[in-house]
Amino acid sequence: MTKILDCTIRDGGHCANWDFSDECIYNLMSTLNQNEISFFEIGYRNFKDREGKGNFYYCTPDFIKNFYGNKGGLNLGVMVDTKRFNENDFINGKEDYVDFVRIATHPERIGETLSIAETLYKRDYTVMLQLMDMTKLTDEHYQILESWSGKNIPKTVYLADTYGTAKTEEVEKHYKKLNNIGYKNISFHAHNHSGLALVNTKKAIELGAYSVDVSQDGIGINGGNLSFTEFDKSFAHT
């Protein structure tokens, strides 16, 4: 059964400068637990370009410690961009307060990202990969992914329709390409600029997606994400 990841705070932070109240986070976590959401991405762990951004852009271990202690059944995680990654920000997964780290990369930096995944895995972090701008993935990028000896490292590999432009047939094409080169847990992150977030997510689930992403009220950059309410109505009792 496909799992659900809520990215309200991390992706929605683009609309709120990653400045949310503690009450907002606790209320959201309660709602997610009530709806049996599997993963909660509480923010970024980035320390570059930080001016004017709130605490959920940095998500230091000390800052998210209390949220982690009240997460209930959620797997709580952070995202880091390959271009902003600093290995000193991730000391050891066993001493941190995250259940997963999702590494986001544009196609041209995939090789570098795989190296980061290996570093985090060796430090006892559970790793997810996010291949942004999925429609720009070429045979060359897939060759890099296919030749990687660490295919067992990521919990899942996300295809991300970063600018909300992917057609449903492109979701299927890239999903099958990843699957054919040895990746089994494939996930999907939609944006709704073209109004296709729901139909594209449905296609990913039909293909056997490990997980898909939603946000509350569809908040997020680039046309927003798939709204949890829209998703829930579409899949209720199916």
Each residue's pLDDT tens digit, 14-29? 999 999 999 999 999 9
Count: domains in the chain: 1
Q: What is the DSSP string of the chain?
A: --EEEE-HHHHHHHHHTT---HHHHHHHHHHHHHTT--EEEEEE---SS-TT--GGGT--HHHHHHHHHT-TTPEEEEEEEGGG--GGG---GGGSS-SEEEEEE-GGGHHHHHHHHHHHHHTT--EEEEE-SGGG--HHHHHHHHH-TTTTSEEEEEEE-TTS---HHHHHHHHHHHHHTT--SEEEE---TTS-HHHHHHHHHHHT-SEEEEBGGG--STT---BHHHHHHHHTT-
| pLDDT of residue 238 exceeding 50 | no
Q: What is the mean pLDDT of the chain?
A: 96
Q: What is the pLDDT of residue 234?
A: 86
Confidence grade of residue 236 (pLDDT, cut at 50, 70, 90): low
Residue 182, pLDDT above cutoff 80: yes
pLDDT of residue 167: 97
Q: What average pLDDT score do residues 172-200 get?
A: 97
Asked if the model's pLDDT at residue 199 lies above 80, the reply is yes
Task: Give the global pTM.
Answer: 0.96
What is residue 175's predicted lDDT score, i.e. its pLDDT?
Answer: 98
Note the pLDDT tens digit of each residue in 85-120: 999 999 999 999 999 999 999 999 999 999 999 999
Question: Which pLDDT value is given to residue 237?
Answer: 42
Residue range(s) defining the domain that contains residue 27: 3-235
CATH classification of the domain holding 48: 3.20.20.70
The confidence score (pLDDT) of residue 49 equals: 87
